Amino acid sequence: MTALAIRMARQVRDRINMPASFFVAIALFALFALTVPRFATSGNAENVLRVASILCVVACGQAIVLILGGIEFSFGSSVALASIVTVLVVPDYGVMGGFAAGAAVVLLIGVLNGALIARFHLPPFIVTLGMLMAVAGLAATLAGGLPIDAPPSEAFSWPARGRVLGVPVPVIAAGASVGTLFLVLAYSTIGRLWYLVGANPEAARLSGIRVRTTIFLGYLAASAFCALAAIILTSRVGSGQPSLAPNLPFETIAACAIGGIPLAGGQGRASQVLCGVLIIAMMNNAVVLLNFPVAYQQLMIGAVILGSVLLQKSSGSIGVLWRSSVPKRGGR
């Protein structure tokens, strides 16, 4: 009976070629819809998506770095520095100039990370951790320790509160990010190179691939996603804040891990990022709706990370569902 159920579940999954975390997300949605009041309403759905959008955009960048076998922590302070630079630049160069400057700052940090990691063979863990701290210090210095308010304007709040055809702009940005990530990973040459270098850098080098350039471009692309998120985040808080989103890197790593991307490199898909983000967002939302203390959020996310990693390792009955009977293609 169980065997049959597992086989059927596997067939269904293979047909639509979804990551295992997709089924966890569906199951979670069903559970919350049945047990949590007001969870399955259209208003709440929009709320969940809006809250999840920034995490989703940045997690797309984190996924690229994880596929490369690296890790990226500096997102946490680079968005803070970007918000401060944006707010400082807006009075002289306008809203567009401000956002452009903020995005440029994030890209510059990506360039620095990529150069240090690729050119000098430094471990990504240390480089991005050092960058996280150094940039946090720079942001605090620049802001003088306190948040700086942006001059309020329609244009400034558009990235966070605007709508296009009724859809919130952040949700559009998140959708575009996942879509772009999917296309790049599944079809592009650079996506293929990221998989190759992440799967075995030495074999990639001996195959004639420019490993350094590939790694550099990966960190640059990751920072591009982060730059987009920085604009939305700055717009939402309407100010430059030295401690804007300190947990961002950890949440993005959590989202990728829950989605099923192994930290060993060489594997990972856009759909996994999306599922991981949705699982986190739904849990956070359910905790709020149930009026549980917010601290429960962390407890639950922590438990889900450990649980999902354990599931992917396990060879027990649930592990059978997890392992694919048809192997995954790198990019799908």
Instruction: Return the number of the residue (111 or 190) whose C-beta is nearest another protein.
Output: 190
Instruction: Return the number of the residue (36 or 190) whose C-beta is nearest another protein.
Output: 190
The answer for residues whose C-beta is within 8 angstroms of residue 108's C-beta and 6 or more apart is none
Q: Is 74 exposed, middle or buried (0-12, 13-18, 19+ CB in 10 A)?
A: buried
Region for 260 from its dihedrals, namely left if φ exceeds 0, alpha if ψ lies in -120 to 50, beta otherwise: left
Distance CA 33, CA 286 (A): 9
| C-alpha neighbours within 13 Å on the C-beta side of residue 156 | 23
Instruction: Return the number of the residue (150 or 257) whose C-beta is nearest another protein.
Output: 257
In the complex, minimum distance from the CB of residue 53 to another protein, in angstroms, rounded to a whole number: 27
**Is the separation of the CB atoms in 59 and 229 below 8 Å?**
no
Per the structure block, which two tokens stand in for 7?
Answer: 């086989």
Instruction: Return the number of the residue (171 or 196) whose C-beta is nearest another protein.
Output: 196
Instruction: Return the number of the residue (197 or 275) whose C-beta is nearest another protein.
Output: 197
In the complex, minimum distance from the CB of residue 321 to another protein, in angstroms, rounded to a whole number: 19
Taking CA atoms, 6 is separated from 91, 160, 304, 323, in Å, by: 60, 43, 22, 11
In the complex, minimum distance from the CB of residue 142 to another protein, in angstroms, rounded to a whole number: 37
Taking CA atoms, 224 is separated from 219, 220, 229, 283, 296, in Å, by: 9, 6, 9, 28, 32
Residues of this chain that interact with another protein (CB under 8 A) are 187-193, 195-196, 199-200, 202-210, 266-267, 326-327, 329-330
CB atoms within 10 A of CB 150: 22
In the complex, minimum distance from the CB of residue 27 to another protein, in angstroms, rounded to a whole number: 27
In the complex, minimum distance from the CB of residue 331 to another protein, in angstroms, rounded to a whole number: 9
Report the alpha-carbon angle 108-70-73, nearest 5: 55
In the complex, minimum distance from the CB of residue 118 to another protein, in angstroms, rounded to a whole number: 14
In the complex, minimum distance from the CB of residue 332 to another protein, in angstroms, rounded to a whole number: 10
Instruction: Return the number of the residue (52 or 224) whose C-beta is nearest another protein.
Output: 224
Instruction: Return the number of the residue (205 or 313) whose C-beta is nearest another protein.
Output: 205
